[in-house]
Chains A and B, each alone.
Chain A
């Protein structure tokens, strides 16, 4: 009961200051996201997935978040994955004379979007192939038009075939359109447009071309001389939107980076700022209390560290050793414990040292260390809490800065890394704003949360400094 009462009094300022409440809500949300990330996907698994290209083969490249469709009149397509192992009709017939097997796979799907898909890719998974098999892939549009996409002999168990990159089909289709309409299109019709466009006058210009909505069919015919042959296909009609956060240039779901960026940013920022401030305080207190040569040395070291170029040195160190983010944390702390912080705290401790209550502790025979840790540091602790909180974002941004300079942890999933990849991937020039704005807004929100809490606490703890 007493405890709840205490918590209530402790939380009272929270309700009095709206900004403190808002800041707390933001940070709590980030903590919740962090917990969700840790529960949903353990760190090593997430890192492995993030750095494995195959893991993302079903995601579209550079897709916008799916919710943008709510604001668009022309609906962008989502990714459609057609897997013959899960759907479609597969017919297997023995070939009557000469042996062998004839497999026909037919997968229907409907396409009801207003924009063309971004890319098409086909994967063959075959079993028991002793000799080359003949594969024919036919595309049937809703109006009944049939297009033969590929016809080739296949002799390996796995084949990846990028329909979008098939120049032969593109050339063939251009010829076909010329014959059908009696006119050549004014641009190169890429395969994903060829397969989904209405084949009338509108296809001749990139401004008027339209998507033919309706039920499409993909028909694959395989004839193999071996009776045991079995073939499956997976056709990916990559869309232009994906998931909650969209994807990047390596098809990776940015949502993973957003949620896993939160715990890393929080841990990095909070550990760095708390440990740094505490070490600064201890050094300052020891230096002020013992005085003489200890003080002298501390001040000299301090002066040196003040003119040491912090960022270039961190950049250099991480360039040579390619640290993981946690080693980097140690380095950052080690380099920032001396500096202006120690100077400020030392000045405070020099005043405290002369206070009567310190004299009293000395009178009862307290040891030096006891005075430093039990009486001097706790005295200024409350005044430093705001600065601890306020400096959290600066460490998060330090990590981001290192990533932007290309020396971040190469495997870690951080917002800074996504920001760097988006920036060097030309997200700004090419209009993939979601790619760069998502990590940026996460950083902004996190900073806002800590800044709101920090500035309000500063008002509460150090009223004299702020009343002006």
Chain B
């Protein structure tokens, strides 16, 4: 699995560098800078143009060698891989972190907590709602509530960010009760408690739009799992034996249903990392996704590549963590098998 992640990061890097395309940009920028510095340097004012050209070419050659750009792309791509794995993502061309650093890692690192905050909350919230709702529906199988939730399942054909647009129009534009987007009020409140409340207020709409998009289908799937497992023979037997329904639910249904539910959660999590980029953009949430959109806006290739690499990481890490959880929950699977 770890190998798969490394390969995935490597592929991301190869694609990100567009097979050496980015290096072309770097080299041309380098040439421009060298010529420009020689042209504006008064020390070289009297030199004939050929001399300056020779000098410039020499400096450029040195620089290319220093940056390792003279090697074949395949070798370089492994260098990049090493850098990416050690989170040495290089320097941004134009962007700065709010502390003033132009290292890509600093820029991303500053945005990462907000992304993790919003989407971990969203995932946990949605997962909990799905689980409880699924349980409730399986208990009241066939009731009106059950039918309503099932008929809401097609809502999930539309992504969370899309509901975000409607949520903004309804709650921010029409009713004016919730903010359009962003992380905190401007200016941010001084007191930590008020600050947290303000952040919470800004999280309501993204969470709501994701809930609308993902809870109905999730609850529907959970309910199906529960129903499937509650029709197993051993459950019937337990029921016949007179085991209380509460214990049946906890020990006979919920326990064996956990592995498939966790698989489900992994898949949802993976797709949610992707959806996060657009959702952040819609709600102007200052996370990694917005960073990527901003970097696209001002053409900052290293930041775009860095963000994609970080997303590859996030994805890989969530998959590994859930693999471990899976092994803990399902005794039939052993870690390291």
Contact = CB atoms under 8 A, between A and B. Distances in A.
A190 B301 CA distance: 45
Interface on chain A toward B: helix, strand, loop, or mixed SS? helix
B18 A321 contact: yes
A309 B296 contact: no
A312 B157 contact: no
Interface stretch (B41-49, B65-73, B82-90, B308-316): B308-316
A400 B165 CA distance: 13
A303 to B, nearest CB: 4
A312 B158 contact: no
Interface string A428-468: 11010100110010011001101110110000000000001
Nearest to B22: A320
B165 A436 contact: yes
Interface string A373-409: 0000000000000000010011001001100111100
Give chain B's interface secondary structure class: helix
Contacts of B301: 320
Interface string A299-321: 01001111111111101110111
Contacts of A443: 158, 162
A419 B165 contact: yes
A308 B11 CA distance: 8
Contacts of A340: 267
B169 A436 contact: yes
Interface string B54-93: 0000000000000000000000000000000000000000
Interface residues of B, number: 54
Interface in B277-336: 277-278, 281-282, 292-293, 296-297, 301, 304-305, 307-308, 311-312, 314-316, 319
Interface string A316-328: 1101110000000
A117 B300 CA distance: 43
Nearest to B6: A304
Nearest to B226: A468
Contacts of B166: 440
B158 A428 contact: no
Of the candidates B305, B308, B316, the one having the most CB atoms from chain A within 10 angstroms of its own CB is: B308
B277 A447 contact: no
Interface string B1-21: 100110110011001101001
A406 B290 CA distance: 11
A321 B7 CA distance: 23
B159 A429 contact: no
A450 B274 CA distance: 23
A451 B315 contact: no
B168 interface: yes
A453 to B, nearest CB: 10
A176 interface: no
Interface string B237-273: 0000000000000000000000000000001001001
A320 B18 contact: yes
A423 interface: yes
Contacts, number: 135
A163 B153 CA distance: 54
Contacts of A436: 165, 169
B8 to A, nearest CB: 5
A303 B4 contact: yes
Nearest to B1: A303
Interface residues of A, number: 48
A405 B157 contact: no
Nearest to A465: B224
A393 B157 contact: yes
Contacts of A405: 277-278, 281, 292-293, 296
B172 interface: yes
B180 interface: yes
Contacts of A397: 158-159, 162
Contacts of A455: 153-154
A316 B308 contact: yes
A307 B173 contact: no
B214 interface: no
B161 interface: yes
Interface string B124-148: 0000000000000000010000000
B227 interface: yes
Contacts of A448: 154, 157
B282 A404 contact: yes
A455 B217 CA distance: 12
Contacts of B307: 312
A272 to B, nearest CB: 15
Interface in A259-310: 300, 303-310
B292 A304 contact: no
A393 B159 CA distance: 10
20 contacts: A304-B4, A305-B8, A308-B11, A309-B274, A309-B312, A312-B311, A312-B312, A315-B292, A316-B304, A340-B267, A390-B157, A393-B157, A397-B159, A404-B161, A404-B278, A406-B293, A428-B169, A428-B172, A448-B157, A451-B154
Closest 4 pairs between A and B when the two form their complex, measured CB to CB? A451-B154, A312-B308, A309-B311, A311-B274
Interface of A: 300, 303-313, 315-317, 319-321, 340, 390, 393-394, 397, 400-401, 404-407, 419, 423, 428-429, 431, 433, 436-437, 440, 443-444, 447-448, 450-452, 454-455, 468
